[in-house]
Amino acid sequence: MRRDARENRTDAAGHTSAAAREDGTDESERRVTARELIQACAFIVRAAWQADRRRLCGVVAVQLLTAVGMGVLVLVLRDTLGTAFSVGGKGRSAEDGLIASLCGLVVLASAGGVLRTVSSGWQRVLTVKVDRHIMAGVLRSAARSELALFEDPAFHDRLKRAVFASRSQPVVVVTALIGAVQALLSMAAVSAAFAVMAWWLLPFTALSVLPVLKAARDERNADYRLHGRLAEGRRVREYLEQLLAGQDAAKEIRALGLGDTLQDRWEGRYAEEIASTTDMQSRHTRRKAVARLLGDAVFVSVVAAMWWTVRSGGVQLPTALAATGALLMLATRVQMLGYVLNNIGASAAYMKDVRVFTADGTDTGGTRPDASSAFCHPSGFRQLRAEKLTFSYPGSAGPALREVSVELGAGEVIAVVGANGSGKSTLAKLLAGLYEPDGGRLLWDGRSVPRPAELRAASAVVFQDFVRFKMTVRDNIAFGRPGSPADPEAVAAAAADAGAGGVVAALPRGYETVLSKEFTGGADLSLGQWQRLALARAFYRDAPFVILDEPTASLDPQAEADLFRHIRRLFAGRTVLVISHRFSNVRAADRIYVMDSGRVTEHGSHEELMASDGTYARLFRLQADAYQERGDRRAREAPGGEAPRGETSGGAAAVATLP
């Protein structure tokens, strides 16, 4: 498991600077090599081929035709000028020749225009398709990445850069590549025509664009380095944007009056970004201006040399005029080529981010196909045993689990209790195959579990911080078993088991109601109602191993009591691991593990643990006493001295939490 080494250099917002990496191997500091340029082009051409080969061929064919047309145009121009200069002396046939040449010019120009129009339409569709093709690859890789990678800031930088690149760069590279093909072909055609007239000037023409090309290359390298340095700052800024403009934090930000503070931080981040960009741009704008002047001076010298040869009688005037036109065309093409190559160069670095990110399990630090959440029909186990599991979160100072051993038999209800931060959820995540242990092993019917994906497929987890999908109720439940069409009856049964049937019935469009006010006709639920849907999702998943991490934290006392009273019936035939702070909920479990500071300190049945009179017994009595006192007080305060209904029996059967 990869651990990110970072300095603890943090800013006022509490975020570490991306430039502060210890290892000094910041990829963004590197220059784009010719090899990377070729790889980027090959990557895009492959993507374009896979996305829409018919359009790709069409666009290239049009470029080829346009280029040939351009070469012919130059030669026709020379003939037209030659005819024009001789019209006075040669009478009607010369005039006819001039008119024919002009007609030829018009036809060529018009055909070129039509072809370009058709081609630009194809180009537009092609770029959108390439865009989708590449973005799909990035999203697929992100969804398949191991959960542990999301703890690693370097992974977020890579992901962010890949998303940025796949959003913005394919269009640039496809357009630039097509432009490059066009520029190269037309350059070849015009050069051929030019060479017929003044071949010896060709090398000087190429020379005129060199300073501009070099300045552009320096700028793109600097731009990419800057982009790398700004990556983490941009993530912080985007996070602040989500807070300020999103629904999730809206009420708390208003309640706290936090808006201006967050806005100031956002302004600060943007100011840093703008200052760095302005500094880089102004330096390179100066360099580019000087390079441009140098290039133009070379170009003017070439034109002057040509006219000197006309004066000295080495070249005819019509040829010189056509050659000057061709020279202008050539210079524009070379400049265009430089411009598009520069664009490809700039994109090459970004496209490398995409290639690296989408490459399975290589440079991404472990992106692997088996990390997919795709549901496959699981087989159950007779026994799941964890032996001396040790685990530290990436970048954490100490282990969250230390030599933890637990045992779960098929059909058992196992409970884990312990103070905040004692490692309960971490243990659950390892048992569900979401993280791989650093030490120890997981045994499934006595054999080591080779692939965490097997555990994931066999598990249904209701997390403490379950996700609330802003989609329909049906989706929220049926996502428990992705990949197959939602089964309406099973969805309804899962909702009923989770006590969500009544909630759904009260919604305007039942199971088709979208659960967010951000969308037309949407509705929202209370936290407890959302929790019932999360439970329904677990029922629907129908996996042999169910993990309930504080599944009733937001449920009302009746719903909570119902769930735990009927847990064995509801999850019949399945193994259930329950994490809870309410000891009354776990007392009926087959075995209870008590955790403290990442270790299992006690285990046994409720009776055994009470008899051993350890931490469990102490905390159980604490909760029971607190309830008893409250119950007695209420009983005394209630009219007629009676205790309120539903809160008295069972000692610790109501809401009481660990201190």
Ligand X SMILES: Nc1ncnc2c1ncn2[C@@H]1O[C@H](COP(=O)(O)OP(=O)(O)OP(=O)(O)O)[C@@H](O)[C@H]1O
Contact 322, 11 (CB under 8 A): no
- Smallest separation (angstroms) from ligand X to the CB of 402: 11
- Smallest separation (angstroms) from ligand X to the CB of 461: 13
The three-class DSSP label of residue 31 is coil
- Smallest separation (angstroms) from ligand X to the CB of 619: 13
Stretch that binds ligand X, among 10-18, 167-175, 406-414, 422-430 (CB under 6 A): 422-430
597: which strand partners?
none
Question: By rule CB under 6 A, what string of x and - marks binding of each residue 437-476 to ligand X?
Answer: ---------------------------x------------
User: Whole-angstrom Cα distance, residue 331 to residue 297?
Assistant: 13
How many residues contact ligand X, by CB under 6 A? 13
Binding to ligand X by residue 558, rule CB under 6 A?
no
- Closer to ligand X by Cβ: residue 344 or 371: 371
Q: Which of 133, 227, 284, 424 binds ligand X (CB under 6 A)?
A: 424
- Measured from the Cβ of residue 341, the count of other Cβ atoms closer than 10 Å reads 22
Question: By rule CB under 6 A, what string of x and - marks binding of each residue 377-396 to ligand X?
Answer: ----------------x--x
- Closer to ligand X by Cβ: residue 78 or 424: 424
Sheet bearing 383-391, strands edge to edge:
401-409, 383-391, 439-444, 447-448
Q: Angle between the 317-358 and 153-198 helix axes, to the nearest 10 degrees? A: 160
User: Whole-angstrom Cα distance, residue 468 to residue 581?
Assistant: 23
- Closer to ligand X by Cβ: residue 515 or 600: 600
Number of H helices, E strands in the chain: 17, 10
Contact 482, 374 (CB under 8 A): yes
- Smallest separation (angstroms) from ligand X to the CB of 657: 10
- Closer to ligand X by Cβ: residue 464 or 628: 464
- Smallest separation (angstroms) from ligand X to the CB of 658: 8
Binding to ligand X by residue 657, rule CB under 6 A?
no
CA-atom Rg of the chain in angstroms: 36
Q: Which of 113, 121, 246, 421 binds ligand X (CB under 6 A)?
A: 421
Q: Which of 119, 208, 422, 575 binds ligand X (CB under 6 A)?
A: 422
331: which strand partners?
none
SS3 of 236-252: the string is HHHHHHHHHHCCCCHHH
Binding to ligand X by residue 418, rule CB under 6 A?
yes
Which residue type is seen at 620? F
User: Whole-angstrom Cα distance, residue 253 to residue 125?
Assistant: 43
SS3 of 592-649: the string is EEEEECCEEEEEECHHHHHHHCCHHHHHHHHHHHHHHHHHHHHHHHCHHHCCCCCCCC
- Closer to ligand X by Cβ: residue 342 or 392: 392
- Smallest separation (angstroms) from ligand X to the CB of 548: 13
Beta-strand pair 459-462/413-418: unpaired
Binding to ligand X by residue 425, rule CB under 6 A?
yes
**Which residues in the 143-182 window bind ligand X by CB under 6 A?**
151
- Smallest separation (angstroms) from ligand X to the CB of 43: 34
Binding to ligand X by residue 97, rule CB under 6 A?
no
Looking at residue 377, the DSSP 8-state letter turns out to be: P
Q: How far is CA 213 from the centre of its chain?
A: 33
Q: Which of 32, 190, 262, 400 binds ligand X (CB under 6 A)?
A: 400
- Closer to ligand X by Cβ: residue 151 or 232: 151
Question: By rule CB under 6 A, what string of x and - marks binding of each residue 190-219 to ligand X?
Answer: ------------------------------
Q: Which of 221, 426, 580, 623 binds ligand X (CB under 6 A)?
A: 426
- Smallest separation (angstroms) from ligand X to the CB of 136: 28
Beta-strand pair 459-462/545-549: parallel
Contact 511, 542 (CB under 8 A): no
- Smallest separation (angstroms) from ligand X to the CB of 143: 19
Residues lying near ligand X in the complex (CB under 6 A) are found at 151, 393, 396, 400, 418, 420-426, 464
